[in-house]
Structure 1
Amino acid sequence: MVPGVDQVFEVGDDVDYLPQCNAVLALWGAVSGGEEALNGNISLACEAQRIARACGADRVLHASSAAVYAPSLSPIDETAECAPRNAYGAAKLRMEQALLGAEPKAVCLRIGNVAGADGLLSAIADNPSVTLIRFPDGRGPVRSYLQLATMARVVDGLVRLPVSGMPDILNVAGTAPVAMEELVRATGCGLDWRPAPRGALPVMALDVGRLTSLMTLDPPSTDAAEIVGEWRRIGQMP
């Protein structure tokens, strides 16, 4: 049981007792395991749709991932080619495809690196130093990040918008990518380097023009010190 939560829900459980609402937020999903485990993302998405119908919701916000996209050195918008590089991204893409035309309205959020839930800040919280890969230009990876406060603002905005204006797919991240080395330095953690392996991505940045046409991102999730400061304030980093 989760502290403060007295209800554990499993797929297939009765939903008739759930209260009415206008939106369902489906952040659950499988992030590791074999194909069968990762395909759980599809069944969970369909379950969220079932819950939404029972609750009278007119939209479901599903957690997808930037991992569905093909690599690109330029910011990637929602019309870009999808060519996942790993099994997780492929599973999220299958989930999106299963939701096409779903009722109520299904909105797939292609989310960037959520600060604190990503591997880097988790490693920093547990280690005195971390190692980043370094590319021939002397820099480390650059990624689109998302603060928890920004994610909360996005969700709040999306549940208030008229459903008629909701897109099927929406990139969710900060307005500009962040250098991972800047995040490390903002924590004061030690930083070591190793050469980037063949095929490593120097940049994974999401174009959030569609999102910012719907709402203002505040905070914009672009400042390394602010990202780290927020994570410290919620008690997840020393």
Structure 2
Amino acid sequence: MSNEKTTHFGFKNVPVEQKQKYVGEVFHSVAAKYDIMNDLMSMGIHRLWKRYTIEMSGARPGQSILDLAGGTGDLTMKFSRIVGDEGQVVLSDINSSMLNVGRDKLLDHGYAGNIEYVQANAECLPFADNTFDCITIAFGLRNVTDKQKALESMTRVLKPGGRLMVLEFSKPTNPGFEKVYDRYSFSVLPMLGKLVTNDSESYRYLAESIRMHPDQKTLKHMMRKAGLDRVDYHNLTGGVVALHRGFKY
């Protein structure tokens, strides 16, 4: 009998050391059309979820912000304006294709001076202890192999008093709505993926990964276990998405 450790990649079980490669292939495939698909999949509502995250972040001029799994830079763009010339935003992603798309997009929009780009794994962040005033990870935690290890890594690089914001798909609070959402996720999303990116399988994985992600209360417990205090969460769009927030003391 095999002792090989496995984890989930969507609904499949895969060897732990292989998940990062499989997730990487998904995002290399979808990077170029990622923004278009986000707008189509959420009917533009992802912009409101991200705006709420910015408002709850408490970001101020002069601060240091880490936009982890920051992809195409939506949050980085807004944080860059808030922290100003005296502050710094680090856009970090494990996937080089996503990071390149984000960097090109930000440069095209005239963002340069206060943004740094770092390819990094959330489980072992290459930053010193107590570096950032705020860390955001939007729609990225569910793709991490060891989520608890990643939360602990994020907590380590937060400054005392700093906050971690986790914006992620979660569990809808209304059972009737959950059924409609399931039908949409497993029928419409792969079809959109096929039409826009010629890749239905990557979007099937994304739908499956949402179902395998810890629910609101479980993630709250995990954040507390990682050493964060005053952890709370806010359900958005009926719990389709939840914003979790915790503070380091």
Query: Larger Cα Rg: Structure 1 or Structure 2?
Result: 1
TM-score in terms of structure 2 length: 0.30
Task: Considering fraction of residues, name the structure with more strand.
Answer: 2
Q: Under a length normalisation based on structure 1, what TM-score does the superposition of the two structures give?
A: 0.31
**Structure showing the higher helix proportion among its residues:** 2
